[in-house]
């Protein structure tokens, strides 16, 4: 497995990470815990060293799963987790944002226990909290770094002005946002800013929440607890219209003796050497497929073809419903 450094921070991780959310949350009912532990451990055996979780995934159960699965590999892997949501103590449901310094500290202490670690490798603010100055957030994480409870600070779905203000108080190691062939907005402002500041980029949803695998069409049905049911881009009409992107990926994949998912990941890896996508999966064969993308070489001609063909495709449907879109880019 190739390694990459996230910006100028010196944090070295596998070129492809692993997004763990879907094992416990978001994509239908939680999967069998023992099977997921085995899958995470087999990912480590295949060279994956970068794992992404958050307290809200579950809530809490995903961190516990990751902590148990990766405990034999302490010191060999990098675990990223997140703070910043307010959870209802009774139900565990998200009921808003909370990045007050005292809350950040509470979340850090609880995450350390669930992850079974002495230090959090990478601690992201999950969403920017407009009620707490970002300088206070950065200061709180800076204190945790000074105390040896956190190693690196990250931001998720933050706007470029927020990133600059944060970075001035406490250097930001990585920014995480959605980025893929069907969501390219980060190219406008975000990627140039990260390059300028020397910050790594961690795209989540690199396979378009499963769509870019080519396994989803207008007839696919999702479990009632699958959050894709509320995403405008996943209405049957949008899924039908967006097959044009799958046709493009399939055409390149056929020529390269690969799969559409591998082309989508290889395209992201070819964008910048400081980009580390974190596809998630719950299936061993998909893990193998994703890892296969790292050694795939897209030639300049391949990349030009993808660029030219994708520029003629207008992806249908918003990537989030309006109430979730409001939480991004602040």
CA proximity to 170, closest of 195, 199, 132, 209: 199
The helix (run of H) or strand (run of E) holding residue 124 is strand 120-125
Distance between first and last Cα of the chain:
35
The answer to whether 310 touches 228, Cβ cutoff 8 Å, is: no
Structure tokens at 241: 């219209």
The helix (run of H) or strand (run of E) holding residue 196 is helix 190-197
Q: Within its chain, how far is the Cα of 190 from the centroid?
A: 15
CA distances from 235 to 26, 28, 131, 238, 243 (A): 17, 17, 34, 5, 13
CA proximity to 176, closest of 153, 151, 196, 150: 153
Q: Which of 27, 57, 124, 179 is catalytic?
A: 57
- 310-312-318-320 Cα dihedral, nearest 10 degrees: 10
- Quick check: is 124 catalytic? no
CA proximity to 115, closest of 69, 154, 158, 151: 69
Catalytic positions are 57
């Amino acid at each position: 497995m190739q390694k990459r450094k996230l910006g100028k921070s010196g944090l070295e991780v596998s070129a492809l990470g692993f997004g763990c959310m879907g094992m416990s949350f978001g994509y239908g009912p939680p999967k069998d815990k023992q099977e997921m532990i085995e899958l995470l451990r087999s990912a480590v055996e295949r060279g994956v060293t970068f794992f992404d979780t958050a307290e809200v995934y579950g809530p809490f159960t995903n961190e516990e799963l990751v902590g148990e699965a990766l405990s034999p590999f302490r010191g060999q892997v990098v675990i990223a987790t997140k703070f910043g949501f307010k959870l209802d103590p009774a139900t565990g449901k998200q009921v808003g944002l909370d990045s007050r310094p005292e809350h950040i500290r509470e979340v850090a202490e609880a995450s350390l226990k669930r992850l079974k670690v002495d230090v959090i490798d990478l601690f992201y603010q999950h969403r920017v909290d407009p009620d707490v100055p970002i300088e206070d957030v950065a200061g709180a994480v800076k204190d945790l770094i000074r105390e040896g409870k956190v190693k690196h600070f990250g931001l998720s779905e933050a706007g470029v002005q927020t990133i600059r203000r944060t970075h001035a108080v406490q250097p930001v190691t990585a920014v995480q946002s959605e980025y893929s062939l069907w969501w390219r907005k980060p190219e406008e402002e975000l990627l140039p800013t990260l390059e300028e500041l020397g910050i790594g980029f961690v795209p989540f949803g690199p396979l378009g929440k499963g769509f870019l695998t080519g396994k989803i069409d207008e007839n696919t049905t999702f479990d009632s607890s699958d959050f894709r049911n509320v995403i405008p881009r996943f209405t049957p009409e949008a899924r039908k219209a967006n097959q044009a992107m799958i046709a493009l990926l399939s055409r390149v994949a056929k020529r390269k003796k690969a799969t559409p998912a591998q082309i989508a990941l290889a395209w992201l890896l070819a964008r910048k050497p400081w980009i580390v996508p974190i596809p998630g999966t719950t299936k061993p064969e998909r893990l193998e497929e994703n890892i296969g993308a790292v050694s795939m070489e897209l030639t300049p001609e391949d990349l030009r073809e993808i660029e030219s063909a994708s520029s003629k495709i207008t992806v249908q449907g918003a990537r989030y419903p309006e109430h979730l879109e409001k939480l991004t880019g602040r």
